Amino acid sequence: MYLKTLHLQQFRNYQEQWVDFLAPKTILVGNNAQGKSNLLEAVELLATLRSHRSTRDRDLVREGELMSKVSATLERQTGITDLSLTLRRNGRRTVALNSENIRRQMDFLGILNAVQFSSLDLDLVRGGPDQRRTWLDTLLIQLEPVYAHILQQYNQVLRQRNALLKKIQSSDEQSSEELTVWNEQLVSAGIRVIRRRSRAIALLAPVAANWHESISGSTEVLQVKYAPNVVTADEHLDELQQAFIEKISSRAIAEQHQGTTLVGPHRDEVELTINQTPARAYGSQGQQRTLVLALKLAELKLIEEVVGESPLLLLDDVLAELDLHRQNQLLDAIQDRFQTLITTTHLGSFDAQWLKASQILHVQAGE
Ligand code: ATP
Ligand code: MG
């Protein structure tokens, strides 16, 4: 797929800006705090309806404005699509395809695919399990847009079950019939999440391991492993259901005591190990960066295979942080297959050939 144009209106520090992408590689160069990452964030929003920098829409709307709009023209094998997302300070959103409003988010997701790689992604290694779950969920939304709906349903059940557990906790009731109903809902909604996460990691893990081996140029083995909160030896539906129900009943007293749901995919983990050692405890920043790079390249390949279109790659400030060997590995992997948007504060870190093949945009104070 190819992003042809981007149009930002009252988005972050942009008032109004049109961008035409004239080459498969675009370098956005400028000093700190000028709007380079903001532009990448706009593309990320069109791809996932999420921003990894902010969860509140009012942060995205330009100061002093009530709403903002991000639009793009995208070329895919099936034709050209116009996408737009309108954000409001009050959190209400409107999405449109070819100027027609879309009611369900999942019909908008999966049109534009993008993999983002920024220095914040080091938190994938160093941060807590929630960060790895969010990463996996964001990938799944792109692989299978219906996942956005599945996840939303699970979170809704979780919220309602938690509210009930809180009520039980404060009223000293032992159990309730209502809870049984929510248990069933939790299991059926939860299983849909678990199976998709499991499938995605199974596909991603070998690709990431391969990349890791070739980038690090060593025999260190990267393992990406899904570690679900509800564990079964057998992934069959019946077994999973059984294991889930059993785990819920084994934690029933604790749940009612703590007033919160302790069992389910909201407690899943994705384990990252190198030679069996947890990656968090392992190695230098450079080694952790290598690991994240391997994950990101695996994401690109996975989206390409599942979706049948090459996703965009958004590189925010990471190129300069990689050594020359890793930079070249990355550039070789991208070639001209993936449209790439790169931010940097100085062009000095790029080799001449790379510069010659790129469109260079100077970003200053939101222009
Ligand atoms: P760096 O090199 O430091 O990463 P950058 O060019 O990537 O810089 P951005 O993060 O894109 O910088 O832009 C940051 C600028 O955007 C800051 O000046 C910030 O004040 C401004 N900004 C962020 N949100 C808004 C908003 N809602 N309204 C107006 N300005 C905003
Ligand atoms: Mg930035």
User: Are the C-beta atoms of residues 291 and 201 closer than 8 Å to each other?
Assistant: no
CA 276 vs CA 10, 22, 122, 308: distances in Å: 48, 45, 19, 33
Angle 238-243-248 from CA coordinates, rounded to 5°: 130
How high is the pLDDT of residue 336? 82
Residue in 188, 184, 216 with CA at minimum distance from that of residue 290: 216
Could you tell me the distance, in angstroms and rounded to a whole number, from the CA of residue 366 to the centre of ligand 1?
8
How high is the pLDDT of residue 175? 64
CB within 8 A of 165, min separation 6: which ones?
179, 255, 256, 258, 259, 260, 261
Per run of 10 residues, the mean pLDDT along the chain (length 367 residues) is 98 98 96 98 96 93 98 97 97 97 93 93 93 96 96 98 92 78 97 96 97 87 96 85 96 94 98 92 84 95 96 91 82 87 90 86 98
User: Are the C-beta atoms of residues 346 and 13 closer than 8 Å to each other?
Assistant: no
User: Which is the closest atom of ligand 1 to the Cα of 58?
Assistant: 27
Q: Please name the fold of domain 1-113+309-367.
A: Rossmann fold (3.40.50)
Task: Report d(CA 1, CA 240) in Å as an integer.
Answer: 38
Residue in 251, 141, 250, 140 with CA at minimum distance from that of residue 203: 140
Joined together, the tokens standing for residue 64 give 């002093």
Taking CA atoms only, the protein residue closest to ligand 1 atom 16 is 13
Taking CA atoms only, the protein residue closest to ligand 1 atom 23 is 12
Taking CA atoms only, the protein residue closest to ligand 1 atom 13 is 35
How high is the pLDDT of residue 172? 67
Residue set of the binding site for ATP: 30-37
Taking CA atoms only, the protein residue closest to ligand 1 atom 25 is 12
User: Are the C-beta atoms of residues 364 and 34 closer than 8 Å to each other?
Assistant: yes
User: Which is the closest atom of ligand 1 to the Cα of 343?
Assistant: 7
- Count of CB atoms within 10 A of residue 92's CB? 10
Q: Helix (H, G, I), strand (E, B), or coil: what is residue 316?
A: strand
How high is the pLDDT of residue 348? 86
- Count of CB atoms within 10 A of residue 79's CB? 8
**ipTM for the assembly:** 0.99
Could you tell me the distance, in angstroms and rounded to a whole number, from the CA of residue 315 to the centre of ligand 1?
16
Domain segments of the chain as ranges: 1-113+309-367, 146-285
How high is the pLDDT of residue 236? 86
Helix (H) or strand (E) holding 359: strand 358-362
Superfamily of structural domain 146-285: RecF/RecN/SMC, N-terminal domain (1.20.1050.90)
CB within 8 A of 206, min separation 6: which ones?
none
Kindly tell me the sign of the dihedral angle through the C-alpha atoms of 322, 323, 326, 331. Answer: positive
Give start and end residues of each alpha helix (H) in 172-311.
177-216, 237-250, 252-258, 285-307
- Count of CB atoms within 10 A of residue 156's CB? 12
Q: Helix (H, G, I), strand (E, B), or coil: what is residue 145?
A: coil
Task: Report d(CA 221, CA 208) in Å as an integer.
Answer: 10
Q: Please, is 228 exposed, middle or buried when counting C-beta atoms within 10 Å of its C-beta (0-12, 13-18, 19+)?
A: buried
User: Which is the closest atom of ligand 1 to the Cα of 39?
Assistant: 11
pTM of the model: 0.93
Kindly tell me the sign of the dihedral angle through the C-alpha atoms of 320, 326, 329, 330. Answer: negative
Task: Report d(CA 3, CA 247) in Å as an integer.
Answer: 47
Could you tell me the distance, in angstroms and rounded to a whole number, from the CA of residue 18 to the centre of ligand 1?
17
Q: Which residue of 8, 13, 367 sits with most ligand 1 atoms within 8 Å of its CB, as the best mutation to test the pocket?
A: 13
Could you tell me the distance, in angstroms and rounded to a whole number, from the CA of residue 280 to the centre of ligand 1?
30
Task: Report d(CA 34, CA 55) in Å as an integer.
Answer: 21
Taking CA atoms only, the protein residue closest to ligand 1 atom 17 is 33
How high is the pLDDT of residue 299? 97
How high is the pLDDT of residue 302? 96
- Count of CB atoms within 10 A of residue 117's CB? 24
Task: Report d(CA 48, CA 276) in Å as an integer.
Answer: 32
Pocket of ligand 1 from Cβ distances under 6 Å: 12-13, 30, 32-38, 59, 61-63, 317, 343, 345, 363
